[in-house]
Chain A
Amino acid sequence: MNVAVRFLRPFARCLVPYTFHMRPSNLYSGVLQRYMSSKVPSLSCHNKDSTSPPEQLELDGWKATMKSSIQEDSVSEVSDKDEDSLAATRELIEMWRLLGREVPEHITEEELKTLMECSSKSAKKKYLRYLYVKENIKKARRIKKEMKAEAREEAKRSRLLETTTGEQKQDFMFLRLWDRQMNVAEGWKGIQAMQFGQPLVFDMAYDNYMRPSELQNAVSQLLESEGCNRRNVDPFHIYFCNLKIDSAYHRELARRYEEKWDKLLVTTTEKSPVDLFPKDSIIYLTADSPNVMTTFKHDKIYIIGSFVDKYLQTGTSLAKAKRLDLATECLPLDKYLQWDVGNKNLTLDQMIRILLCLKNTGNWEKALKFVPRRKHTGYLEVSEHSQEVFRKLKKTKTLSSFQKGSLNARTWKK
């Protein structure tokens, strides 16, 4: 076999164009044909059956070139015989990529190790897909960045031309320091909130219910929520309760905030919220709660479980509230929205946006506009809702205290 290959190799290069551009009466293809048929005798007899004999040579020619063109690289590959499973996996991924599967182009040692730790085949595929998507996003972003930089250069150059031609003096009242001014102002507001603001607790006791990816998501949502709160007119005083030092949560938060972590205008504590606040003023917000939140109460302390639950461990936070014997409430999503698809659990930043909006306006319609649009088909009729409220009030016999025309529940509750 080796002999045949050696013999072929010199021809292999010139062979290809020849066989296909000239007619197959060519000498070399005859050689090829013989080579092929000597190798796999059944092949030639099979080919005799097929319908178009004149095209035979064209049909099988590529095989020989494929086979021969390769022998060259196989020499180099002999050297690393002791391929461990890591290298094999790397190659598997490469082959999958050739096949058009969703796998990343480049994979680091670390990611490869994570991949090997995945317990099942589908877990591996999922992880590879995640890496693939991540890589694509990164790539797209880089391209966009480059394009932007180019455009900026262009603009700069043209501006340079302009300024050199017509230079004129302008009068300004302020130096350009907006971002910093904003930060300082937000800092002032934040300090005020630390002193006089309404507490809002994030319960961080769920880190052992979450997988690493969920924890990462949870931390991202926390960052987002904190940012929202900071920009608000009247921020909450945020507590991160049950945040154990050196837990996964703590490490991840410190990593994401970097040096800002120690200057953050929030209270972080290892204590549980029940140790910090009177029990009867605490309300645990959870979608599993049987009680529906009717109004935002300014004298209560709301707790949000910072828990991303992708694997549907229903009732975890309700169980927690039950254990601590706390009041629970859920958002009145069904009352105001025509729910369509999706989980009633909202993300942390959506929750804090809704709460902030309620705190400032007390208007449910406005607050619930932060519920993702894809999850509901629209708002329920307000009149219908108020009728429902009316009916409920009638039932619970508190109608006497209800004053006509004031829909703001806070005013009549008191």
Chain B
Amino acid sequence: MTFCLSGFRSFPKLWKSNLCFELGPATSSASVFLRVHCVIGNQQRWFSVKPTTPPNSKVLNLLATKARTHKKGNDNDKQVSSEPHYFAAGAAKKRSQLSGHPQNQGHDLPVRSTLQLPTKPLNSKEWDKLKEDFKGKASFEDVVISQMACNCSSVDTAKSLLAWVAAKNNGIVGYNLLVKYLYLCVFHKQTSEVIDVYEIMKAKYKNLESGGYTLLIRGLIHSDRWREALLLLEDIKKVMVPSKKNYDDCIQGALLHQDVNLAWSLYRELLGLNLIPPLETLKAFFDYDKDIHDDHYSNQLLDILLYLRNNQLYPGESFAHSIKTWFESIPGRQWKGQLTTVQKSGQCSSCGRTMESIHLAPEEYEFLKEKIMKDVIDGGDQYKKTTPEELKRFESFVNSCPPFDIVIDGLNVGKMFPKCHESQNLLAVVSQLAQQNLQLLVLGRKHMLRPNSQWRKEEMEKVQKQAHCFFADNISEDDPFLLYATLNSGNHCKFITKDLFRDHKACLPDARTKRLFFKWQQGHQLAIIKGFQKSKLTFQHILSYDTVVQTTGDSWHIPYDEDLVQRTSCEVPTKWLCLQRKAPC
């Protein structure tokens, strides 16, 4: 308690000075926060309590809210100007901001280093002295070299530390120190040092561990002895599967030294191990070949593009540029690349070609239907999500009805606008859709039929008049029924829910089925964005085209991720690279 008080005394001054300094130009409250934290952190440890002296906190809160509303306003503007698609990159983040979940501001306190790191090489006496000053649980050398590795100190400083350790230790330097020294060497690209350490390690230890191997590989590929990196890769293979980064390094090394065949064989090996190659590796292949143009190499690059297509991977921005330059550098073909977007109609803004349709091929559709039935609804135990009786009831119900045009998730729609009670929401949506003469199916649970404040009886009766309804047991899940009813009705059928179905996607057995499901979902899910009371019901538009790497022989369309946009796994990029071949004259 006394500590606290003494801390307080010195505190307001600090605070004021900082606040005055910041208030002038500042709208960003976060920086005020951080600054104060820094000062406090350095001054007194027990003062990591948030600055909550009443008068100041008010100002701060004000600032914070101001900043937040400001930010929100910006986002709103963007939202209105170009309404992102439900599955478009960055859409989820925007939604979360709009619905008032401000992102956690990272209040990282600066890492307090317990000791001052030397900036230049020290001799042994100086190291001795430094050690005497040091107090801590871990061993001094460990802590120092770890900090050096964190702060990327110069190699010479680290070397002087090792020399000092060796002098004390009969010339023996521990493996952990060596590895961290190696890290520094690799980081600073000191190839000769790397080779030295490599020699030492080879002599001293028969086998290394994966971390050491990785560093050595990364360091050696730049030297003349890069082929030894491949031997190290072999060593790793003895005990475990090398990481994709190991392969990446080796491939980069092979490309650096013009051994293309080796690079390709390593790439094939990487694919054979079911590892997903890092995009940098793929980029390196595109970057490598600017001048040599043999058909074999080109074909293999096209294979990479097909790999991207099949695995629904999207290149990053710089990779997209690499692809563009490679295509444009092919002699005699006159490829022309352009960064562009695709219109809602599915036409490329640049060349006007129509993108591939989002709809599944018939056999894919059948496959997906069967998988959903088997893995999502049944899942090895019919009792988990429903009961066999209910399943039978549902199947006979679905078969007795004509194919539906729209399947509605009653509970999801009901809870959409919290201002009205739920049955009112549902009725509004259903009646608006019913006016368009659509065959509707409303899925729900039995408790919706029991009148209460949320679910009114007369409104539910109206709903039942306008649409086919199926009510599952209260403890059954309704989403699987929704999926099955939609799939069963055929390709034209859509479903309405805001749910992203990530949990059901997770039930599917393999990545291919998941991708199929996602594609189908993009093409058939309607998400309501407006429709409250009197305003007309509006949906997020459905993508008519598939966002995937695609070709028509003389054109390529490649979606890519922008560097500054974060994309979640249930979203697709919005930017495209359009490549056209001019007709050879």
Chain B contacts for A59, CB-based, 8 A: 121, 156, 159-160, 163
Which of A52, A91, A98 is close to B176, meaning CB atoms less than 8 Å apart? A98
B156 to A: closest C-beta gap in Å: 5
Interface string of A296-339 (1 = CB under 8 A from B): 00000000000000000001101110110000000000000000
Contact A88 B238 (CB under 8 A): yes
Q: Does A67 contact B (CB under 8 A)?
A: yes
Partner of A62 from B171, B208, B383 at Cβ < 8 Å:
B171
B201 CB to nearest A CB, Å: 9
Q: Is A250 an interface residue (CB 8 A)?
A: no
| C-alpha spacing A69/B212, complex, angstroms | 21
Say if the beta carbon of A180 comes within 8 Å of chain B. Answer: no
Tell whether, in the assembled complex, residue B384 and residue A319 are in contact, meaning their CB atoms are under 8 Å apart: yes
Chain A residues 66 to 99 lying within 8 A of chain B, measured CB to CB, are 66-67, 69-71, 74, 77, 85, 88-89, 91-92, 95-96, 98-99
State whether A99 touches B175 (Cβ < 8 A): yes
Q: What A residues does B174 contact at CB under 8 A? A: 98
Chain B 187-201 near chain A by CB (<8 Å), digits 1 or 0: 000111101100110
Contact in complex: A290, B240 (CB < 8 Å):
no
Contacts of B45 in A (CB 8 A): none
Q: B207 in the interface, Cβ–Cβ < 8 Å?
A: yes
The residue in chain B whose Cβ has the minimal distance to the Cβ of A289 is B475
A145 to B466, CA, bound (A): 77
Residue of A nearest to B243 (CB): A121
B203 contact from A70, A320, A323, Cβ within 8 A: A70
The listed residue (A12, A46, A51) touching B190 by CB distance below 8 A is A46
Q: Which range holds the interface residue count of chain B? A: 35 or more
Q: Are B121 and A55 in contact (CB under 8 A)?
A: yes
Chain B residue nearest to A20 (CB atoms) is B167
Do residues B179 and A99 form an inter-chain contact, with CB atoms below 8 A?
yes
Minimum CB–CB distance from B238 to chain A (whole Å) comes to 5
A173 within 8 Å of B (CB atoms): no
* B191 neighbours in A (Cβ, 8 Å): 42
A58 x B163 contact (CB < 8 A): yes
**Does B120 have its Cβ within 8 Å of any Cβ on chain A?**
yes
Asked if A16 lies at the interface with its beta carbon under 8 angstroms from chain B, I say yes
- Which residues of A have CB within 8 Å of B387? 322
Residue B97 is within 8 A (CB to CB) of chain A in the complex: no
* Closest chain A CB from B154 CB (angstroms): 9
Nearest-neighbor residue (CB-CB) of B180 within chain A: A99
Q: A34 an interface residue at 8 Å Cβ cutoff? A: no
Are A77 and B206 interface neighbours, CB within 8 A? yes
**B114 in contact (CB, < 8 A):** no
Contacts of A278 in B (CB 8 A): none
When each residue 160-174 of chain B gets 1 if its CB lies under 8 Å from chain A and 0 otherwise, what string results?
101101110011111
Once bound together, how far apart are the Cα atoms of A60 and B156, in whole Å? 10
Q: Does A100 sit at the interface, judged by CB under 8 A? A: yes
Q: Is A406 an interface residue (CB 8 A)?
A: no
Residues of the A chain whose Cβ atoms lie less than 8 Å from the Cβ of B160: 55, 58-59
Per-position binary interface string of chain A over residues 1-42, scored 1 when its CB falls under 8 Å from any chain B CB and 0 otherwise? 000000000001001100110000000000000000000101
B196 touches A91 (CB 8 A): no
Q: What is the CB-to-nearest-CB distance from B419 to chain A, in angstroms, rounded to a whole number?
A: 25
Residues of B within 8 A of A165 (CB): none
Asked if A323 contacts B383 (CB within 8 A), the reply is yes
CB closest chain-A residue, reference B162:
A62
Is B195's CB under 8 angstroms from A40's CB?
yes
Kindly identify, within residues 185 to 233 of chain B, every residue whose CB is under 8 Å from any CB belonging to chain A: 190-193, 195-196, 199-200, 203-212
Q: A95-B209, A121-B240 are in contact. Are A67 and B159 (CB under 8 A)?
A: no
Cβ contact within 8 Å between A63 and B239 = no
**Contact in complex: A95, B212 (CB < 8 Å):** yes
A99-144 contacts to B (CB < 8 Å): 99-101, 121, 124
With A46-B192, A58-B163, A66-B171 in contact, do A20 and B124 touch (Cβ < 8 Å)?
yes
- CA of A39 to CA of B433, assembled, Å: 82
Tell me, rounded to whole Å, the shortest Cβ–Cβ distance linking B174 to chain A: 7
Q: Are A69 and B171 in contact (CB under 8 A)?
A: yes
Given known A66-B171, A74-B203, contact A61–B156 (CB-CB < 8 A): no
Q: Does chain A have a CB within 8 A of B31?
A: no
| A319-B381 CB under 8 A given contacts A59-B160, A65-B171 | yes
Which residues on B sit within 8 Å (CB–CB) of A322? 383, 387, 475
Contact A315–B171 (Cβ < 8 Å): no
Question: Residue on A with the closest CB to B477?
Answer: A315
Q: Nearest chain B CB to A147's CB is how many angstroms away?
A: 22
Residues of A within 8 A of B166 (CB): 16, 61-62, 65-66
Q: Does B61 contact A (CB under 8 A)?
A: no
Please determine whether B156 and A99 come into contact, CB atoms closer than 8 angstroms: no
Q: Could you list 29 examples of A-B contacts with CB < 8 Å? A: A12-B171, A15-B171, A16-B170, A19-B167, A20-B124, A40-B196, A43-B196, A52-B121, A52-B156, A62-B163, A62-B166, A66-B200, A67-B199, A67-B200, A69-B171, A70-B200, A74-B203, A88-B207, A88-B239, A91-B206, A92-B207, A95-B208, A99-B175, A99-B179, A290-B474, A316-B381, A319-B381, A322-B387, A323-B383
Q: Other than the known A40-B195, A91-B206, A319-B381, what 11 A-B pairs have Cβ atoms closer than 8 Å?
A: A16-B167, A19-B167, A51-B120, A51-B156, A59-B121, A62-B167, A65-B171, A74-B203, A92-B207, A95-B175, A315-B385
Chain A positions within 8 Å of B, measured between CB atoms, are 12, 15-16, 19-20, 40, 42-43, 46, 50-52, 55, 58-63, 65-67, 69-71, 74, 77, 85, 88-89, 91-92, 95-96, 98-101, 121, 124, 290, 315-316, 318-320, 322-323
Which residues in B have some Cβ–Cβ distance to A below 8 Å?
Answer: 120-121, 123-124, 142, 156, 159-160, 162-163, 165-167, 170-176, 179, 190-193, 195-196, 199-200, 203-212, 238-241, 243, 381, 383-385, 387, 474-475
